[in-house]
Amino acid sequence: MDFLGEDTLEQSQADATREAYLVLLRELGAAGLSDGGRVEVSLKLSALGQALPRDGERICLDNARRICAAAQEAGTTVTLDMEDHTTTDATLATLGELRQDFPWVGAVLQAYLRRTEADCRDLATSGSRVRLCKGAYREPESVAFQETVEVDTSYVRCARILLEGQGYPMLATHDPQIIEVVQSVVEGAGRAPDSYEWQMLYGIRPLEQQRIADAGQQLRVYLPYGQEWYGYLMRRMAERPANTMFFLRALATKK
């Protein structure tokens, strides 16, 4: 679950986001939904104060620590969402800080960034949870692949590194061709069904989600919520126009 909000420039907003996650985790725990990581939370560090003009990194880390502590008490986990490329190093640095006390904190890597293969190698270690996605932000050619075939090829290369490593890969994609190719990598790596998972957005290709679950594989559904949905959607459309067609196709088909 992801409480919508990003690009926070006031500490009161960062504090409100932190409190929303603390309430969510208490309620998940009380309902028995968080045991064993059944429902986990995803955090955007920009929503927790990363970009605040004064002490942003410290405020963000403090907020994330409190959320991680609440998640641990509830019996679940946290994954740090990745945003545009200018925040990658800072996000990975925060990941490293959090993993000193909470080694189960997950990371997100974006296959369209040219650096991601190296990041996958660094993070494909024992106990390391890594979500691999294609990436949704508009990025310059100097740091990111621009052509679809390049991004797809990078995704498969990165997935192979993670699946052949010692960590716990979380394969986030709705692309049927990617799923087919990566499934063969899963089988070649001899991965047990509980040693990795697929991830998809709520409402996108629900029949494929059911097929994966029926096949005995783990699938996690990504559910954003909150009042900031309109800005979230519009920013995604503006940053990467291809997302518009993605959402329209998703509305037209359940496959």
**Residues labelled as active-site residues:** 81, 131
Amino acid at 87: T
Question: Is the separation of the CB atoms in 79 and 39 below 8 Å?
Answer: no
Going by the DSSP 8-state scheme, the letter that residue 109 receives in this structure is E
C-alpha torsion 61→64→69→71, nearest 10:
-160
User: How many whole angstroms separate alpha carbon 189 and alpha carbon 186?
Assistant: 5
For the CA atoms of 31, 36, 39, 44, what is the dihedral angle to 10 degrees? 130
List residues bridging with 43 in a β-sheet. 80
Residue reference for tokens 């955007």 = 44
CA contacts within 13 A on the Cβ side of 246: 16
The answer to whether 200 touches 221, Cβ cutoff 8 Å, is yes
